[in-house]
Amino acid sequence: MSLVAPSSLMNLSSSLASLKLVSCKLQGKIPYMSHLSKLALLDLSNNHLTLETMTFEKLVQNLSKWREVNLNGVNMSLVALSSLMNLSSSLASLKLEYCGLQGKILDNVFQQPNLQLLDLLGNEGLNGSLPRHDWNNSLQSLSLSRTKIQIHLEHDFISNLKSVETLDLSACNFEGSNLELFDKLTQLIELRLSHNNFSGQIPSSLENLKKLLELDLSHNNFNGKVPSTICKLKSLHILGLSSNCLNGIIPQCLGNFSNAFSMLHLGMNNFQGTIPEPFSVGCSLRYLNFNGSQLRKRVPLSISNCKILEILDLGNNRIDGTCPHFLETLPELQVLVLQSNELHGMVKGSSTNYSFSKLQIFDLSNNMLSGPLPAEYFNNFKAMMNVDVKMKYMGSPNYNYDYSASLTLKGLKIELVKIQTLLTTIDLSRNKL
């Protein structure tokens, strides 16, 4: 709808109760739609729209039945935050991601009586501090990620969040670091605390969050071991502990979570020992990343039990032994990174009859592999033909992958009899061809 003028919204029927125009390439200024007095749902997210102060003030004053508002990506940099004082008391959901909001946050935003979801992600100009008391009791989802709002991590703050199920405080402005307070939020389903400066040990008391499906503590400075009590979170689907200073041995129980466990990211740490062994039959992992974790010995055969695995990154470790040929049996594998390890021998085993039919990224660089590169790899890499790999996992902004289809073979001694024109990129540098 890039050629449709936003002013045409003025002609919509006054009986309209729901207006949803997501990712329509609309451009220009949002008009004053005062005639839509029955509007309960407004979603204009992911367009190229601008909202001015006067227009927004009139909207919030006159559209008293607003229940759900999503203006993610709308340019609101000129909107005065005082405009939020008149938000409808019936408002249940307010999404204002990456809107360019600036200035001191207002207490009343957190004190709306029926508000269940508040998302202010990515408004880096927002500052001030949160109110200590009188939050509403209905709030279920809160995101203050990538704002400068000061968060005092204390009992008062936690007591306001007793009903919250989804809490995203990644890259926030924390005062205090007592993470044990979070164990009081027993209704939590998702907890994201990445990109902060938390240090010390990961509190074992997080085992009290029995309903937790996602836990992201990546990009901090945690340096105790991974507490084995984390394995008591039986409902967990996603665990992100990457880019910390964790050491010791990875708890073996992490390889044997529930059948719903889909994502494990422990890369960029200082572990000793090996990759967890017991990946059980029926393993539901889709994403497994141990890149840069100082792990030794071999790739465990039990990973072949993870039949829906899509991304496997074991690069930049000290894994030795022969190439793990059994990984070819993973039918959904799209990204395989084994670079910068101590693998040796033939690339393909003699007993396997599979050829990575869906693989789009294949990196074996900087190992000690030798022998011919199997011709069937090129025959079956149809997934690489003119494809850009763009993956976003589990809806989390911290797990985005944007690759061009490629085959990386740096440091690999190979013989190529025939190359078919299936790949967009072939890199054979640093060899003795």
* Residue type at 332 in one-letter notation: E
With a CB cutoff of 8 Å and minimum separation 6, the contacts of 54 are: none
Q: What is the pLDDT of residue 365?
A: 81
- Which tokens go with 339? 């670079």
Q: What is the pLDDT of residue 403?
A: 39
Q: How far is CA 8 from the centre of its chain?
A: 37
Q: What is the pLDDT of residue 98?
A: 96
Q: CB count, 10 Å around CB of 234?
A: 11
- Local structure of 344: helix, strand or coil: strand
Would you say 365 and 409 are in contact if contact means Cβ atoms under 8 Å apart? yes
Residue-wise pLDDT for 49-107, tens only, equals 999 999 998 888 888 888 999 999 999 999 999 888 888 889 999 999 999 999 999 88
With a CB cutoff of 8 Å and minimum separation 6, the contacts of 13 are: none
Q: Where in the chain is the domain with CATH 3.80.10.10?
A: 1-129, 310-433
β-strands 368-370, 388-392: how paired? unpaired
- Residue by residue, pLDDT tens for the chain (433 residues) are 999 999 999 999 999 999 999 999 999 999 988 888 899 999 999 999 999 999 998 888 888 888 999 999 999 999 999 888 888 889 999 999 999 999 999 888 888 889 999 999 999 999 998 888 888 888 999 999 999 999 998 888 898 899 999 999 999 999 888 889 999 999 999 999 999 999 999 998 999 999 999 999 999 999 878 988 888 888 888 999 999 999 988 887 776 666 678 888 999 999 888 888 778 778 888 999 999 988 888 999 989 989 999 889 999 999 998 888 889 889 888 888 888 898 888 877 665 566 777 777 778 888 888 777 776 666 666 655 544 444 443 333 333 344 333 444 444 333 333 344 444 455 555 544 4
Q: What is the pLDDT of residue 30?
A: 93
The CA distance from 11 to 292, in Å, is 57
34 phi and psi, to 5 degrees? Answer: -65, -25
Residue-wise pLDDT for 138-173, tens only, equals 899 999 999 999 999 888 889 889 999 999 999 999
Q: What is the pLDDT of residue 418?
A: 36
- Domain at 1-129, CATH from 3.30.70.940, 3.80.10.10, 3.40.109.10, 3.40.395.10: 3.80.10.10
Judged by phi (left if over 0) then psi (alpha if -120 to 50, else beta), residue 245 lies in: alpha
List, as one string, the DSSP characters of 2-40: TTS-GGGGGGS-TT--EEE-TT---EEEPP--TT-TT--
CATH number of 310-433: 3.80.10.10
- Which tokens go with 115? 């508000």
H/E stretch holding 56 reads helix 53-62
The CA distance from 376 to 4, in Å, is 51
